[in-house]
Chains A and B, each alone.
Chain A
Amino acid sequence: MAVAHEATEEIHVVTYTTYTLVWAALVGLTLLLSSISLLHVGGGRWDALAAFIISPLKAALVVFFFMHLKYEKTLFRVMLMVTLCIIIIFLGLTFLDVALR
C-alpha cells in the first residue's frame, strides 16, 4: 500500500527570490494591462487582445510558480489541461449556438 512516502520523495523548496520575481512580473503585467485599457492605447483596439494574452499569462505564473505546478508530477499538469480543455470546449460549443442563431 502507498503509505507515507514523505521521507523518501524529494520535496522542492521554492526560493523567496523566485517568488519575488514572479510577484514583480505579476504586478508589472497588471499595470501593463490596466494602462492599455485605461489610457485607451491604440484607441481601444488592443484591449481585448491584451486581456486575452496577459490574463492567462498572469494565471500561468500563479499556477506554475505560486502553486508549484512546475515542480509537480506530470500527472497534475495533464489533469489541469483536461479541465481547461473542457471549459474551452463548453465555451466553443455554446458559442456555436449563440453566435449563429
Chain B
Amino acid sequence: MTASEAPARLRAASYIEDHGRFRGLFGWIFSTDHKRIGILYLVSTLFFFFVGMSLGFLMRLQMLSPHGELFKNADYYNALFTLHGVIMIFLFIIPAVPGSLGNFFMPIMIGAKDVAFPRLNLLSWWLYVTGAVIALASLFGSGLPDTGWTFYAPYSLRTHADIPMAVFGVFVLGFSSILTGINFITTMHRMRAPGMGWFQMPLFPWALYATSWVQVLATPVLGITMLLIFVERIFHVGIFNPAMGGDPLLYQHLFWMYSHPAVYIMILPAMGLISEMIPTFAHRTIFGYTAIVWSSMGIALLGSLVWAHHMFTSGLSDAAATVFSLLTFLVAVPSAIKVFNWTATLYKGSIALEPPMLYALSFIFLFSVGGLTGLILGALALNVMLHDTYFVVAHFHYVIFGGAAFAFFGALHYWLPKMFGRMYNRSAAYIGWALLFTGFNLLYFTMFVLGVMGMPRRYAFYLPRFQTPHVIATVGSWIMIAGILVVFTNLIVSVFKGEKAGENPWGGVTLEWQIPSPPPTENFLEPPTIPEKAYDFEGAFAS
C-alpha cells in the first residue's frame, strides 16, 4: 500500500456513516446505495421470518392434542397456516437472499460500484413493504384468510375472507421481485469490472443471474393469476368459476407455473451462498466451477417445466402426469451435480469448521434429504398416497428451511464481519447451530413418519394414533426455536457490540474481502485486482 493510498482508505466514510442526502432513518429508507438497501431488506425479511416463526410455533401448539390444544374452531388454524405460508414464502424466503445479500454483495463481487438502476432498487424495496402491508391488511377485513397460501379456486372465490386484499398484496410483492430481477440481470451484463469476464464471476452472482431470469419470466404469471382472482371476486367475471364454465384446474396450472419456479428462486441463491462458503472454509478452489454455472442455468430452465407435479391427484390427463413426472426426475440431475461438486471441493481441503462451514455442511445433508424425498413425491404411484400429507410438509421444509434458510443463516455469519465490521461470538454461534439443527430434525423428520402413517396436512384435528409423533415434533419445534433465538441474539448483539473485524477474517479470495469492513459507499477506493480464475486459493491471493 503506497503512502497516498493509505490515507484515502482511512478517510473514506463507510456506507454506515455516510448518510447521503438525508439524515437518520430517512437516510436509510430513501437511500439508493445497494448496501443500505440490502440492510433494509435484511431487517424487514428477518422481521417477517420471526412473525412467520411465531405462527408456526402456535400451529405446533395446536397439534399437541388430537382435539386441538389451542383452538376448538378450525377457522383459526386455517388462518394460521395460510398466514404462515404467505409470510414465510412471499415476505421472507423469496425476497431475503436476493434482496439482502444479493443487493449488498453482488455488485461488490463483480467489481461494480452499485447496481444498474439504483433508484429502481429502492423502489423494489418500497414495493416489498407496500405489498406486505396490503397483504397483512387483509387480516382486518371481512374475515381471516383461510385458503392456504395457494388460494385455490373455487374456494378462494367463495370464502368470506378478504381475499381481494390478500391477492392484491401478493401482486404488488411480485412487482418487487420482477424489478429486482431486471436490475440484477442488467447489472451483471453491463457493470462487471474490466477483467471480470462471465467465467471469472464468482458463483453467488451466477446463482443470482439464473434466479433473476426466473424472477422476470415466472413472476408475471403469478401476477396475472392473482389479478384474475381479484377481478373474479370484485367483478364476478367467472374465469375459474365452474358454474360459469370455468376450470379450477386451470387456476392450479397458472398458479404453479409461477410457484414451482418460485422454489428455485428460493434455492438457487442459497446454493450460490454454499458455493461461496465451502471454498473459503476448505481453503480450496471449488470443484467443477463450470459445471456449477451450467447446472444453475439448467435448474432455472428445467425447474420452470415441472409445475404440474403439484397436481398429480387433481385430475390431470395421464399423458401430462407422466411427462411432468419425468421432467421432475430430470431436474434432480443438476442439483445432484452441485452436491457432488461441493463434496468434492472438501476432499483434500484444509477444512476450518467455523460456524458458516457448519451451516454449509448442514445444508448439504438437509438439502439432500429434502431433494431425495422430492423424488419420492415425483413418482406418480407414491404421490397418490403422499399428496397432501405431512410427508409433503416435511419435504419442503427440508429443502426450503434446511436448505435455503440454513444457507442464509450461514452466510449471515460469513458476511456479518464484512457488512458491519464486527465479529460474532463463536461459542454462541455453535450452541445456536446445535440447538437449531437438533430441533429442526426432530420437528421435520417426524413429519415424514406422520405423512407415511397417513396424517393429512392443514388439518386442525387428527386421529389419536398420530398424537405421539405430533408431540415429538412440537418439542422439536421448541428446541429449534430456542436455537434460532440464540443464533439471532448473537448476531444482532454482535452488530453493535461485537469485536472489530478486519478486512478478511476468513482468508477469502473474492472481491469483497479486498475492501474495508464495513465497505465505503463507493465500494472500491482503488480499482480492484481481478484474479484470472475465480476461487484461486493457490495463486497470488492465498492467505
Q: A15: CB under 8 A from chain B?
A: no
One of B31-39, B89-97, B318-326, B414-422 contacting the partner: B318-326
Q: Are B304 and A93 in contact (CB under 8 A)?
A: no
Q: Which residues on A sit within 8 Å (CB–CB) of B465?
A: none
Q: B316: CB under 8 A from chain A?
A: yes
Q: Are B308 and A100 in contact (CB under 8 A)?
A: no
Kindly report which residue of chain A lies nearest to residue B314, judged by CB atoms: A97
Q: Are B305 and A101 in contact (CB under 8 A)?
A: no
State how many angstroms separate the Cβ of A59 from the closest Cβ of chain B: 18
Q: A7: CB under 8 A from chain B?
A: no
Q: Are A100 and B319 in contact (CB under 8 A)?
A: yes
State how many angstroms separate the Cβ of A87 from the closest Cβ of chain B: 9
| Given A1-B191, A90-B257, residue A97 in contact with residue B305 (CB < 8 A) | no
Q: Are A2 and B249 in contact (CB under 8 A)?
A: no
Complex: A20 Cα to B192 Cα, angstroms: 40
Q: A74: CB under 8 A from chain B?
A: no
Q: Which residues on A sit within 8 Å (CB–CB) of B247?
A: 98
| Given A1-B193, A83-B217, A86-B304, residue A97 in contact with residue B113 (CB < 8 A) | no
Q: Are A89 and B253 in contact (CB under 8 A)?
A: no
Q: Are A97 and B304 in contact (CB under 8 A)?
A: no
State how many angstroms separate the Cβ of B50 from the closest Cβ of chain A: 36
| Given A2-B191, A89-B305, A101-B315, residue A96 in contact with residue B323 (CB < 8 A) | yes
| Given A1-B113, A2-B190, A86-B217, residue A97 in contact with residue B308 (CB < 8 A) | yes
Interface size on B, residues (CB 8 A): 28
Q: Which residues on A sit within 8 Å (CB–CB) of B194?
A: 1
Q: Are A93 and B305 in contact (CB under 8 A)?
A: yes
- Give the residue of B113, B253, B317 whose beta carbon is less than 8 angstroms from that of A100: B317
* B205-219 contact mask (Cβ, 8 Å, vs A): 1 or 0: 000000001000100
Q: Are A97 and B217 in contact (CB under 8 A)?
A: no
Q: Which residues on A sit within 8 Å (CB–CB) of B319?
A: 96-97, 100
Q: B268: CB under 8 A from chain A?
A: no
Q: A17: CB under 8 A from chain B?
A: no
Kindly report which residue of chain A lies nearest to residue B321, judged by CB atoms: A97
- Give the residue of A1, A2, A93 whose beta carbon is less than 8 angstroms from that of B320: A93
Q: Are B304 and A96 in contact (CB under 8 A)?
A: no
Complex: A2 Cα to B221 Cα, angstroms: 33
Q: Which residues on B sit within 8 Å (CB–CB) of A86?
A: 217, 304
Q: A94: CB under 8 A from chain B?
A: yes
B residues near A, CB below 8 A? 111-113, 189-194, 213, 217, 221, 247, 249-250, 253, 257, 304-305, 308, 315-320, 323-324
Top 10 A-B residue pairs of the complex, sorted by shortest distance between their CB atoms: A97-B320, A100-B317, A96-B320, A101-B317, A100-B319, A97-B317, A2-B190, A97-B316, A94-B253, A96-B319
A-B contacts besides A1-B191, A75-B189, 9 pairs, CB < 8 Å: A1-B112, A1-B193, A82-B213, A89-B304, A93-B320, A98-B250, A100-B320, A101-B316, A101-B317
A-B contact pairs, 25 of them (CB 8 A): A1-B111, A1-B113, A1-B191, A1-B194, A2-B192, A75-B189, A83-B217, A86-B217, A86-B304, A89-B304, A89-B305, A94-B253, A96-B319, A96-B323, A97-B249, A97-B308, A97-B319, A97-B320, A98-B250, A98-B317, A99-B317, A100-B317, A100-B320, A101-B316, A101-B317
